[in-house]
Structure 1
Amino acid sequence: MNTRRDFLRKMGASALMLQLGSITSFSSAANQIGKPYEGRVLRVAIMGLGGYGTRVAEAMKACTKAKLVGVISGTPSKIKAWQARYNIPEKNCYNYDNFDLVKNNPDIDAIYVITPNALHHNQVIRVAKAGKHAICEKPMALNAREGQEMIDACKNANVKLLVGYRMHFEPRTLEVLRMRNVGDFGKVMFFQAQCGFKAGDPSQWRLNKALAGGGSMMDIGIYAINGARYMVGEEPVWVTAQETKTDPLKFKDGVDETIQFQLGFPSGAIASCLSSYNISHLDRFYLSGEKGFAEMQPSTGYGPIRGRTHKGELNQPITTHQTVQMDEMATIIFDDHRPAIPVNGEEGLKDLKIIDAIYQAAETGLKVKVKG
């Protein structure tokens, strides 16, 4: 199956295992030099044992503050394989029907939901009702209404809701944001994001509206939307969008093939973005200010991220994104740490509101105001 994750895996292919063996969390580097970490460890169960779930599990081997302790899957054979591979006890294994029973399991602190988009809403709400912290893959839900319901459910249960925004902890990305914050680029005028690849197997869930909620916009497009927000450093107030579909048999009604969209920000900055399931080799960010620029390519792949600014090449440490993410999320959950770029449910909701507006703009041809 040729999916977004297959595509990104190819872009960063050999880096994962090399990184797992030699590079640990950027944020936890001090622990590797000094005494071992002795604080609380976030005990995580992964729900959805597919390709990305496996990548997260492998990356967590290098974590110092998080540990894989449980699994949730609808496929018994996968559960058995993961038990053997990651030494997971039988009492920490659940299926999609009975995972509510995790409320009686004190050995699991959080559940990472890595399932098709349409399942996130109900599954996260069930996780919250079971009294466990929820980590959810992006997009957090199919629309803003669902996202708000997930936020409310977690607040009512007094548990945290975090979203798998791994780029929010990536060192070279954070360096660009640091440079912007200290004024190295001057006033930001323009941002461009190009995110795309050729989707493969037409029977995959990502091309099924009932499971995906859309097409490229609900998958690779989330990187362009979220990237525009954190690179510009503002929230967009309007969007315009245009959809192009060349293969209606593969990309059926409600499954977008390619969408170009534009964002307007309060300062006057603008963004021009593209999300596609039918254009290969697109993984680039470009930020332009009155005094300088930043370019990242690859900008969101699994690694290594590469980039340059008007001051030269970015050379911050290369990390395994998911290792850093899970260690950082442990500090957010246990210590109420606030990262440079939020990864909470409210952050996910902002992206969903923009997605709603983009689809409306593409359908109507109108400039659409983004709801606050």
Structure 2
Amino acid sequence: MEKKNKLGVALVGLGKYATGELIPSLQITQNCYLAGLVSGSEEKKLKYQQEFGLKDESLYSYDDFDRIADNPDIDIVYVVLPNFMHAEYCIRAARAGKHVICEKPLAMNVDECYRVAEAVRQANVRFSMGYRLHFDPFNQEMMRLGQKEVFGPVKKLELLDSMDIGTETPWRVDRERAGGGPLVNNGIYCIQAAIYITGKLPVAVEARFAPVTNPDRFSEVEEGVIWTMFFEDGVTAHCETSYSKNQNLMRAEGSEGWFELNPAYEYKGLVGRTSSGAMDIEPVKQQARQMDDFARCIIENTETRVPIEMGIRDMQIIEAVYASARAGDRVELHLEAFENLPEY
């Protein structure tokens, strides 16, 4: 196979995130570029084809998606679909011989995650989770401060990621399409942050569902979840996620000081402070960095820092949080460490 300097990316799904964040990011990436679109909307495909000069043969519907295997211009398939479609299109992309990026969560449950992992293994392609914050310099600084114990060992974390969804995105409150509520959409960032700030895996969780204030709106998925993640040496991460309030805090308290981001999880506008003063960090386009890094990993034959194992691990924790909230009791975790746990 001819070695390329830049890899072609096909976006599967043309919702708000793909059109508002990924397509603009692919105009500034250095290692990859927009090469294809998959959508059920002919209007959307035509709009972006005309805007970016895409070939007719690089436009696909969901029905004819599998012919993407015959397109040498497309190296990476980025799955940006409602959660219930993640596993199917990751598996089909892998079987088509394409490298895969998948938005969070990896799948609807752990069993589906393992099905995706097996398809990726059999196809011998590379896989990356769409965890953009691993490539954001503010979040990387939180990783460095925590893992290097700049303010002493981290003792306590407060991680809040919520958004008031109002009446928008009805699929997110549909259990069959979303798999869960704010925990799988926003709370997954809290889980991520707890692990990448401490550099450790949790050993247990204890959770409860938040009171339901709108039973008609939240009849199928939770309105909110409040939970604690327990680590060795008594370290705790207190977390909350909700679809009926706005929160955006990542705070770590060490034995000799504190550090935080607020906002912490947004695409832009992040602000960092520590007990020693403000963080002086230049913002970046997170998604451009994320996609460039994966393309570089493919080109240079190196490992991504956000591999499929990380997506599986996070789904295991999510299922434990749900189990704890339903049972009203602590749930022990038995997570397997893996070589690619990022360090900064």
TM-score per shorter chain, which class? over 0.9
Which aligned pairs between 1:157-236 and structure 2 lie closer than 5 A? 157-201=123-167, 204-236=170-202
1:136 is the counterpart of 2:102? yes
1:96-151 deviation digits (Å, cap 9, x = unpaired) = 11111111111100100000001001110011110000100011111111111111
Counterpart selection for 2:238 from 267, 272, 277: 272
Alpha-carbon distance in structure 1 between the residues aligned to 2:4 and 2:273: 37
Q: Secondary structure, in 3 states, of the residue corresponding to 1:279?
A: coil
Alpha-carbon distance in structure 1 between the residues aligned to 2:310 and 2:169: 31
Structure 1 residue 50, shift from structure 2 partner = 0.8
1:261 is the counterpart of 2:227? yes
Alpha-carbon distance in structure 2 between the residues aligned to 1:145 and 1:266: 27
Identity %: 34
Q: Secondary structure, in 3 states, of the residue corresponding to 2:233?
A: coil
Deviates more, 1:135-144 or 1:38-47: 38-47
1:33-90 deviation digits (Å, cap 9, x = unpaired) = xxxxx97112100000011001101111011111001000111111111111221111
Q: Which residue of 1 aligns with 2:299?
A: 334
1:309 is the counterpart of 2:274? yes
Alpha-carbon distance in structure 1 between the residues aligned to 2:177 and 2:7: 30
What TM-score results when the alignment is normalised by the length of structure 2? Answer: 0.93
Name the count of aligned residue pairs.
331
Which aligned pairs between 1:16-95 and structure 2 lie closer than 5 A? 40-54=5-19, 55-95=21-61
Alpha-carbon distance in structure 1 between the residues aligned to 2:169 and 2:311: 28
Larger relative contact order (CA 8 Å, sep ≥ 6): 1
**Residues 317 and 337 of structure 1, relative CA distance in 2, 3 Å threshold:** farther
Alpha-carbon distance in structure 1 between the residues aligned to 2:51 and 2:334: 45
Q: Secondary structure, in 3 states, of the residue corresponding to 1:240?
A: strand
The letter for the 1-side match of 2:249 is R
Q: Secondary structure, in 3 states, of the residue corresponding to 1:356?
A: helix
Structure 1 residue 338, shift from structure 2 partner = 4.4
Q: Secondary structure, in 3 states, of the residue corresponding to 2:234?
A: coil
Q: Which residue of 1 aligns with 2:308?
A: 345
Alpha-carbon distance in structure 2 between the residues aligned to 1:317 and 1:336: 29
- Contact persistence 2:4–2:299 (CA under 8 A): no
What are the ranges of 5 or more consecutive residues in structure 1 without an aligned counterpart? Answer: 1-37
Alpha-carbon distance in structure 1 between the residues aligned to 2:250 and 2:148: 20
**Residues 168 and 102 of structure 1, relative CA distance in 2, 3 Å threshold:** same
Structure 1 residue 334, shift from structure 2 partner = 2.0
State the Cα RMSD in Å.
Answer: 1.5
What are the ranges of 5 or more consecutive residues in structure 2 without an aligned counterpart? Answer: 336-344
Q: Secondary structure, in 3 states, of the residue corresponding to 1:332?
A: helix
Q: Secondary structure, in 3 states, of the residue corresponding to 2:239?
A: strand
Alpha-carbon distance in structure 1 between the residues aligned to 2:126 and 2:205: 30
**Residues 39 and 110 of structure 1, relative CA distance in 2, 3 Å threshold:** closer
Alpha-carbon distance in structure 2 between the residues aligned to 1:186 and 1:263: 20
Structure 1 residue 311, shift from structure 2 partner = 2.4
Q: Which residue of 2 aligns with 1:252?
A: 219
Shift >3 Å, 4+ stretches:
336-339
Alpha-carbon distance in structure 2 between the residues aligned to 1:371 and 1:81: 48
Alpha-carbon distance in structure 2 between the residues aligned to 1:179 and 1:228: 13
Which aligned pairs between 1:319-330 and structure 2 lie closer than 5 A? 319-330=284-295
Deviates more, 1:361-370 or 1:194-203: 194-203
1:193-236 deviation digits (Å, cap 9, x = unpaired) = 11111112266111111110011111111111111111121111
Counterpart selection for 2:258 from 282, 287, 293: 293
1:145 is the counterpart of 2:108? no
